[in-house]
Amino acid sequence: MLVNTVAFAQEQNPVLSAKALSELTQAEVDGFAKIDIDLDGSVQLTTDGLLILRYLFLYRGNRLIENALGPGAQITDFVDIENRLASQVLLLDLDQDGSVLPFTDGIMTMRFLAGLRNLKLVADATSLTAENIDAESVASLLTDLSASTNAKNIDSGSSDNTGTNASNGSEKTIQLTALYERIVPCEDRSNCGLDYAAMQSLPIRFAEVEILDPDNNLLLQNLSTDEKGSISFDLDNQQPFKIRVYARSLYAQDNKQWTVTVKDNEGQTNPSDAAVFVLDSRILNPDEDSSAITLVARSGWSGAAYTDERSSAPFAILDSIISASLFVTAEDRSFNLRPLTVYWSADNTTSNVGTSYYLADTIFVLGDANEDTDEFDQSVIIHEWGHYYQDVLSKDDSVGGMHGSGDLLDLRVAFSEGWANALSGLVQGTNAYRDSSGPNQGSGFSLSLEDENQFSGTTKGWFSEDSVQYFVFDAFDQPATDDDALALPISAMNQAMIDSIPSLPAASSIFGFFGGLADAAPNQRLTLLSRIQGEDIAAGLASIDAFGTGEINAAQNSGLSFSNEVLPVYVTLPVSADPLTICQVALAGTENKLGVFRFLRFDIPEARSYEVTLKTTEQPEGVRSDPDFEIFSSSHAVLPKGFSGEIAQEQQTLQLEVGAYWMVVADYNNNGGDNPGRYCQSIEIAPT
């Protein structure tokens, strides 16, 4: 086989002939690209890439070179190949971890030569000690190593690398712009809906694109659109092709990385093999068609209804998420976001997926036209992405559940939802949260993120998502949407969310967020304090800690008579002391409402085993109480949880380290059970 390959090479390249490496001068060798291992004048996946990878996997001798030499290879002896590899692979420490390894540097080299770029180039291919995970710099290094002074030619199939493969007589450069149609909301605040007369054509940004051979769907080129939805690529004039744009963004630039994929869940809540949405062109011919192509994802709206395929929906969702991602990463900080999957389908109704929601790196989006479909409701998409951000980059202790304006909520829920509401407006540069629904998507609701007087008689406070959203929006909104002097940079939000909240031995709440924000913008601390006190939070206090110490707002204005069930926000539980009595109520509702959970904090002075004992002391008449608790350190939940079904008591022995802890206590009757009411318990924690 080797002999045949060499013979073929000599036939095709009569001016070249196989030589021993020693017969070539150093100047001749230096004229080739540094990773043109076989010195055939080009760097190719199936020859040089394969040789490099085999070498790193310790293949030697004929096994190393078998079927891996180019037809014009100038060196063909395995000893010469091994010698060249021994010197050249040292240049391939792409991730700069001090070693050249097959599963990192070798894989990235192969991917590069296969045309993969951005996140696809580096994902899961850098070592734990890598100092370089930036796809652009890896690609740049490999481009340099692939360039030669006398023969530049990378057979990578990509257009975004070296500028080689320039158009010549047999090739044509194609300019592609990918667009999607977005239906925008009407501007009427009270009854929003979508305005189909105000459709926009927007770029499909940072999306994966494949150029396919229509005969067999083989991949000709793998690319990614830029911020204008554009790419260019070279194709043989005789090569028919098809463009496929994925509703997927693989982004890796400037130490920011994300992977977002929009899939079709077909109305299923547990999709196991959902397909990725793609936008396909018809078959195109370089020699017949124009070289400037625009590929458009249409909305499917024909004037009175969706009568055609709703091609733009997945791309509208993707673009809202890209807007949010660009917004929060617009600062000098590295971001490496976990992959996010979004499920959308025209079959996603309130009767199957229920609503648009986030859970565990997944967002489900409603798609039921004329009832509730959210692909064009940017507020909804960004709100749910905000939950993803808080989950993956910060800490979200929210218990989830139903929520809305005017509700008196558990403080964790109020913060999570209010912050996400505000983020949706900040990303869009608008002071309204809009959600369309109904016939022709012509109704729904719109809420101001700025106007605190839109509803009369609301109860402000640390338990209100409205209060949280007004404060967060005011802290960051820019003059165009502003009624205040605050306009903090996004870096301050990230510092509060990413650096501060996860480090606190307290639940995620407006109190912890405020502390992080004040630390990030110390010269604005008093302004921030004044603003948050305008929401009846921390009234009269000179400072705010993560536990809301000194808070006096027990939702008195609501007309509900909370007594000792909600204040202090955290009860301090002494260790090895007499039991305390705490109470909970369902006055504002069950499950995720104010008063259902009681918050406590305690400090463990010595690492050892402790017993936590919770005993019911008060309950509605004729009801079986079922108290539960859960304990958290600053970073994690302590296991096992106290969630047995034992009547009137819960007891757990736990191994606890020295440090600060917080816990929540609730009776199951208020948290999913059938008999909501007032429940009290004695609680103590003592060494065993």
Partner 1 sequence: MKQPLFLIVTLLFLCGCQGQGNNETRAISQPLWRVTNDSELGSITTTTPTRTPEGKIKRRQALGKPRGPFALTWRLEGWSETDTRLFVKVSSRLNISEWSVDIRSDQNVQQTYRFKDPEQADGLARTLQLGAVAPEDKMSITVWVWIDGRQYSISKRLLPVGVERRQSPKTCDFRGVCVRSLPGAVIFEQ
Give the type of residue at 417.
E
CA atoms within 13 A of residue 14's CA, in its CB half-sphere: 0
Least spacing, CB of residue 190 vs partner 1, in Å = 4
Chain centroid to CA 144: 32
Sign of torsion, CA 493 495 498 501? negative
User: Taking CB under 8 A as the criterion, which residues in 120-159 touch partner 1?
Assistant: none
562-569 long-range contacts (CB < 8 A, ≥24 apart) are: 562/587, 562/594, 562/595, 565/595, 565/598, 565/678, 566/463, 566/594, 566/595, 569/411, 569/462, 569/511, 569/599
Least spacing, CB of residue 356 vs partner 1, in Å = 5
3-class DSSP state of 246: strand
Q: Per-residue contact track with partner 1, 79 to 108, x per CB under 8 A?
A: ------------------------------
User: Taking CB under 8 A as the criterion, which residues in 461-500 touch partner 1?
Assistant: 465
Give the type of residue at 414.
A
Least spacing, CB of residue 595 vs partner 1, in Å = 14
Closer residue to partner 1 (CB): 26 or 307: 307
Closer residue to partner 1 (CB): 112 or 246: 246
**Residue 229, CA distances (Å) to 177, 202, 225 in order:** 5, 8, 5
User: Taking CB under 8 A as the criterion, which residues in 556-585 touch partner 1?
Assistant: 558
Contact residue for partner 1 among 97, 195, 280, 482 (CB under 8 A): 280
Contact residue for partner 1 among 98, 640, 659, 672 (CB under 8 A): 672
Closer residue to partner 1 (CB): 103 or 357: 357
Question: Which candidate, 564, 573, 570, 516, places its Cα nearest to that of 547?
Answer: 570
CB 114, CB 157: distance < 8 Å: yes
User: Taking CB under 8 A as the criterion, which residues in 39-78 touch partner 1?
Assistant: none
User: Taking CB under 8 A as the criterion, which residues in 299-328 touch partner 1?
Assistant: 309-311, 314
User: Taking CB under 8 A as the criterion, which residues in 416-435 touch partner 1?
Assistant: 416-417, 420-421, 433, 435
Least spacing, CB of residue 62 vs partner 1, in Å = 31
User: Taking CB under 8 A as the criterion, which residues in 608-627 touch partner 1?
Assistant: 626
Question: Which candidate, 21, 11, 180, places its Cα nearest to that of 86?
Answer: 21
Contact residue for partner 1 among 127, 440, 503, 617 (CB under 8 A): 440
User: Taking CB under 8 A as the criterion, which residues in 520-559 touch partner 1?
Assistant: 558
Contact residue for partner 1 among 60, 298, 615, 678 (CB under 8 A): 298
Q: What is the C-alpha separation between 537 and 560, in angstroms, rounded?
A: 18
Angle at which helices 411-428 and 378-393 pack, to 10 degrees?
A: 120
CB 584, CB 658: distance < 8 Å: no
Least spacing, CB of residue 251 vs partner 1, in Å = 20
Closer residue to partner 1 (CB): 364 or 476: 364
Span of 112-120, 122-130, 266-274, 496-504 interacting with partner 1 by CB under 8 A: 266-274
The 3-class SS string of 203-215 reads: ECCCCEEEEEECC
Least spacing, CB of residue 559 vs partner 1, in Å = 9
Closer residue to partner 1 (CB): 294 or 572: 294
Contact residue for partner 1 among 21, 29, 199, 296 (CB under 8 A): 296
Structural tokens at position 131: 């100092």
CB 545, CB 511: distance < 8 Å: yes
Contact residue for partner 1 among 50, 130, 207, 243 (CB under 8 A): 243
Query: Is residue 294 close enough to count as binding partner 1 by CB under 8 A?
Result: yes
Least spacing, CB of residue 627 vs partner 1, in Å = 12
Query: Is residue 640 close enough to count as binding partner 1 by CB under 8 A?
Result: no
CB 42, CB 151: distance < 8 Å: yes
Least spacing, CB of residue 292 vs partner 1, in Å = 4
CB 18, CB 10: distance < 8 Å: yes
Contact residue for partner 1 among 99, 140, 290, 651 (CB under 8 A): 290
Least spacing, CB of residue 223 vs partner 1, in Å = 15
Q: Per-residue contact track with partner 1, 160 to 199, x per CB under 8 A?
A: ------------------x----------xxx--------
Closer residue to partner 1 (CB): 8 or 306: 306
My answer on whether omega of the bond before 71 falls inside 30° of 0, hence cis, is: no
> Going by DSSP bridges, is the β-strand pair 362-365/367-368 parallel, antiparallel, or unpaired?
unpaired
User: Taking CB under 8 A as the criterion, which residues in 351-410 touch partner 1?
Assistant: 351-360, 364, 368, 370-372, 374, 380, 383-384, 387, 396, 398-408
Helices (H), 67-184: 78-88, 107-113, 119-122, 135-146
Least spacing, CB of residue 78 vs partner 1, in Å = 33
Closer residue to partner 1 (CB): 72 or 193: 193
370 phi-psi bin (left φ>0, alpha ψ -120 to 50, beta other): left
Contact residue for partner 1 among 454, 527, 533, 549 (CB under 8 A): 454
Contact residue for partner 1 among 438, 605, 640, 687 (CB under 8 A): 438
The secondary structure of residue 482, as a DSSP letter, is -
Contact residue for partner 1 among 640, 646, 653, 658 (CB under 8 A): 646
Contact residue for partner 1 among 9, 43, 123, 278 (CB under 8 A): 278
CB 455, CB 406: distance < 8 Å: yes
Closer residue to partner 1 (CB): 278 or 571: 278
Q: Per-residue contact track with partner 1, 590 to 609, x per CB under 8 A?
A: -xx-----------------
Tokens 């949405």, residue? 277
CB 287, CB 238: distance < 8 Å: yes
Chain centroid to CA 400: 19
Least spacing, CB of residue 379 vs partner 1, in Å = 8
Please compute Rg for the chain using Cα positions.
31
The secondary structure of residue 304, as a DSSP letter, is S
Closer residue to partner 1 (CB): 5 or 311: 311
Query: Is residue 458 close enough to count as binding partner 1 by CB under 8 A?
Result: yes
Span of 4-12, 221-229, 286-294, 658-666 interacting with partner 1 by CB under 8 A: 286-294
Contact residue for partner 1 among 126, 299, 431, 437 (CB under 8 A): 437
Q: What is the C-alpha separation between 619 and 673, in angstroms, rounded?
A: 14
Structural tokens at position 315: 């791309």
Q: What is the C-alpha separation between 585 and 90, in angstroms, rounded?
A: 68
Contact residue for partner 1 among 108, 284, 340, 475 (CB under 8 A): 284
Span of 87-95, 225-233, 350-358, 482-490 interacting with partner 1 by CB under 8 A: 350-358
Span of 80-88, 111-119, 450-458, 616-624 interacting with partner 1 by CB under 8 A: 450-458
Closer residue to partner 1 (CB): 133 or 179: 179
Chain centroid to CA 166: 36
Q: What is the C-alpha separation between 592 and 216, in angstroms, rounded?
A: 54
Tokens 């659109």, residue? 225
The 3-class SS string of 400-447 reads: CCCCCCCCCECHHHHHHHHHHHHHHHHHHCCCEEEEEECHHHCEEEEE
